Amino acid sequence: MIRTTLVVAGLLAAAAPAAAQEVRWRTDYAAARKDAAAAGKPLLLDFAAEWCGPCKRMEATTFRTPAVVAAVSAAVVPVRVDADKDAWLVKAAGIQAFPTLILLTPEGKVIARREGFADAAQVTEFLRQAPAARPAAVVQPAVAFQPAAVAPPAVQPAAAVVPSAASELLAAARADFAAERYLACVERCDRISGVHAAAPEAAEARRLSAAITADPQKWKRVLDQLEANLTAARRGLPSP
């Protein structure tokens, strides 16, 4: 009996370090952003999907390597973004492939990004681009999600738009843009691009969305509005 107990204890002790060697991913982006700002750290966004083979391979190998786990814990606030559950964030970040890693300041500006499978050495090298932890007030800005600046299209009155599902959505998106409701504007533009991709309004919707995601100040408003909506939803309050 004593021998059996010792064997079991030994197995548990051997398993404990292995269980600890994994990245503790966050899934609440808004909460992680607040924690990152408080800690003066960037976020590490891992855009992945259940159906993504390379994503599963990275989770089983790269993100269980002790050196990677230690580097992630020390340098960043890690967030796992599910491609299916967080489709809006995937679109907003302009994700084209899975997995994609993005180093992001709490203000919503990209420090670095990497697409495709990465082994432990590659992820460790990627994390070296993260700035040292510092107070949130002095975190240095980096580039926006969409690096190419795009001039916002002229806002046209809704009355001038030919009535149709796509044109009505575009008119509403223009009104949102003019009123600085950038989150609602991007969501409407994404709907036009996805549901009405063949409509002539789709091209302008893409330009309008790009005008927001390319502008750091407008993109920050999007993140703030998204966070306010998530907070209101958790409290059961109407969104602002």
Question: Residue 40 — left, alpha, or beta (φ > 0 → left; ψ -120 to 50 → alpha)?
Answer: left
Q: What DSSP string runs through 83-102?
A: TTTTHHHHHHTT--SSSEEE
pLDDT in tens, 17-57: 444 589 999 999 889 999 999 999 999 999 999 999 999 99
Q: Are 225 and 182 in contact (CB under 8 A)?
A: yes
| Res 240: pLDDT | 54
pTM score, whole prediction: 0.54
Residue carrying structure tokens 């409290």 = 235
Q: Which domains are present in the chain?
A: 22-138 (3.40.30.10), 158-235 (no CATH)
Q: Among 103-112, 130-139, 147-156, 165-174, name the one with the lowest average pLDDT.
A: 147-156
pLDDT in tens, 117-147: 999 999 999 999 988 755 443 434 333 444 3
